[in-house]
Amino acid sequence: MAQWLISAAAFIVAIGVLVSIHEYGHYWFARRLGVRVLRYSIGFGSKLLGWTSRKTGIEYQLAAIPLGGYVKMLDEREGPVAEADKPKAFNRVHPWRRIVIVAAGPGVNIVFAILAYWLVLMLGVSGIKPVLGTPATDSPAARAGIQAQDHVVALAGQPVDDWQDLRLALIDRGLDQRPVQMTVKGENGGQRQLTLDLTHAPSDPERLFGMLGLTLYQPPATPLIGQVQSGSPAAEAGLQRGDAVLSVAGQAIDSPQALVDAIRAHPGQRVPIRIRRDGQTQSVTPKLAQRSNDRDQPVGHLGAAITIDPAAWKDMQTVHRLGPVAAIPAAVHKTWELSVLSVRLIGRMIVGQISWHNVGGPIQIATYAGQSAQIGVVAFISFLAFISINLALINLLPIPVLDGGHLLYYAIEWIRGRPLSEAVQAAGQQAGMVALLMLMAVAFYNDILRLLG
C-alpha cells in the first residue's frame, strides 16, 4: 500500500508539473500574440478550486481529472464573440500566430527537458559502469570477441559513461542494423577495437540485448529477496524481504543473474531453495509459476524482486558530473539524442516493427514515477525530463485532436490562403479522437497485463 501511495503522489506531481508547463507555453504566447485567454486549467472535468483574475478576467482552475489540461481562448467557433473582441479571437489571428501558440506547448516541454538535464548533470548522474559479463555462446557479442569484465569505453567513436549510456547507444545503432565499432578495455587495462554485428538486431529494445548476448557484469555477491508479490509462489513459500538466497535446486547462487537463470530453468516445478534469514539457514520449496519469454519459451517465475547488498556494487558505481557551463551543451545533446531515438522508436512502432506491448499508460508512468522518486531527487528530475520529451513528441503527432493535428490544419490554411472546410475538419477531429481512444485503450490494456504479471 505504501508503494502505491508513493507512486500515486509522484505521478500527480509529475503530471502536474509537466502539464502546467505545457499549457503555460500556450498561455504565455497566446497573451503575447494578442489572443484573449479565458481559462487556464490543470486537469479536466469538474473544478476543484480556482479563482478569476480581477485584472485580466482569466479564470485559473485545478480540475478533478489529473490527466492533462487546457487553455481556453476566445474563439468564434465556440460561441458568440462581441464585435469589439473579435480581433482577439483565436480563429481571427493570422495562421502563423496560431502555429506559434500551438507549438509553444511542446516547445516548452523540450526547453524544460534541457533545463532538467542541465541541473541533473551539475548535481551528478549516478550510474553503473558499462562492464560486460560473459557473452552468450555463439552470440554476436561472443563472435565480436567480447570477454567477461570488458569495460566499454566508446561506441561508434562516442564516449560511453555508464550502462544506461551503452543501452541507449546500442538501441539507437541497432535500428540501423549495421555493424558498429566498439572500444573496450580489458581486465589488464589494454584497449581493443571490436566490431559488433547489428545486422540482424531486432527493432524491439526489449529483445536487443538478449539477441546480442550482452549482459552486465555482476560481481560475486549473494542475492537478496526484495519485494514479494502477493499471491506469488514466493509469498506462498514464505519468502521474505531480506532473505539471502544461497542455492536453488542444489546449485550454488553467487549473483542475481545466477538466481534469475536458476528460477527460469524450472517452469512449473517445485524447487528447493536454501536461504539465510537472521543468521539461520533454512529451506523452502515453492512451486514456481510458468511464464513465456520473448521467444514464447516457458520459463519459471518466482514473483519476487531481487536486490543485493549495495556494498558489493560499490566498485561498479560511477558518477558523471559537469560544471554549469559544460553542462549546457551536454544537456542539449542529451535532449536531442533522446528526442531522435524516441521519434525513431515511435516510427517503428507505427509500422509494426516494434510491439505495441511497449506502450505504457498512466499506471506504468505512476510506477516509474514512484520508483524514481524513491531513488532520489536526481532520478526523479531525470524521469521528468524524459517524460517531458515524450509528451512533446506525442503532442506533435499529426492527429487532429493533438497539437500536431492543429499545426497541420493551420499550415494548410496558411498555404491555401483559406481554412479547410468545417466538414473536413470535423471528420479529422472524429478520426483523431478514435485514434487517440484506441491508443489509450492499448496503453491501459498493457498496464493491466503488467499488473497481472
User: Bigger pLDDT: 222 or 287?
Assistant: 287
* Residue/partner pairs of 19-23 with CB below 8 Å, 24 or more apart: 19/43, 19/66, 19/68, 19/69, 20/69, 21/108, 21/109, 21/112, 21/388, 22/69, 22/105, 22/106, 22/108, 22/109, 22/391, 22/392, 22/395, 23/69, 23/70, 23/71, 23/105
pLDDT at 100: 96
Query: CB 97: neighbour CB atoms within 10 A?
Result: 18
Contact by Cβ (8 Å): 69, 26: no
Band of the pLDDT at 112, cuts 50, 70, 90? Answer: very high
pLDDT at 361: 59
What is the C-alpha to C-alpha distance for residues 238 and 260, in angstroms, rounded to an integer? 19
Mean pLDDT of 429-448: 73
pLDDT at 358: 62
Contact by Cβ (8 Å): 134, 148: yes
The string of DSSP letters for 331-379 reads HHHHHHHHHHHHHHHHHHHHTTSS-GGG---HHHHHHHHHHHHHH-HHH
Q: Examine the pLDDT at 1 and tell me if it is beyond 60.
A: no
Q: Domain 140-212 is of which CATH architecture?
A: Roll (2.30)
Q: Examine the pLDDT at 235 and tell me if it is beyond 60.
A: yes
* Catalytic-residue membership of 23: yes
Per-residue cell: 154: 566508446
Ranked by mean pLDDT, the top range of 198-207, 288-297, 390-399 is 390-399
- Percent of the chain at pLDDT > 70 equals 91
The string of DSSP letters for 41-57 reads EEEEEEEEEEEE-TTT-
CATH number for region 223-308: 2.30.42.10
Contact by Cβ (8 Å): 247, 329: no
Asked which of 116-120, 161-165, 247-251, 343-347 is least confident by mean pLDDT, the reply is 343-347
Band of the pLDDT at 452, cuts 50, 70, 90? Answer: low
What is the C-alpha to C-alpha distance for residues 349 and 362, in angstroms, rounded to an integer? 19
pLDDT at 154: 93
pLDDT at 364: 63
pLDDT at 344: 86
Average pLDDT taken over every residue of the chain: 86
How many CA atoms lie within 13 Å of 219's alpha carbon, on the beta-carbon side?
A: 13
Contact by Cβ (8 Å): 384, 18: yes
Q: Examine the pLDDT at 333 and tell me if it is beyond 80.
A: yes
Band of the pLDDT at 355, cuts 50, 70, 90? Answer: low
- Percent of the chain at pLDDT > 90 equals 37
pLDDT at 14: 83
What does the domain layout of the chain look like in residue ranges?
97-124+322-453, 140-212, 223-308
Span 70-96, pLDDT tens digits? 999 999 888 888 888 899 999 899 999
The string of DSSP letters for 93-116 reads S-HHHHHHHHHHHHHHHHHHHHHH
Band of the pLDDT at 67, cuts 50, 70, 90? Answer: confident
What is the C-alpha to C-alpha distance for residues 342 and 359, in angstroms, rounded to an integer? 12
What is the C-alpha to C-alpha distance for residues 153 and 182, in angstroms, rounded to an integer? 8
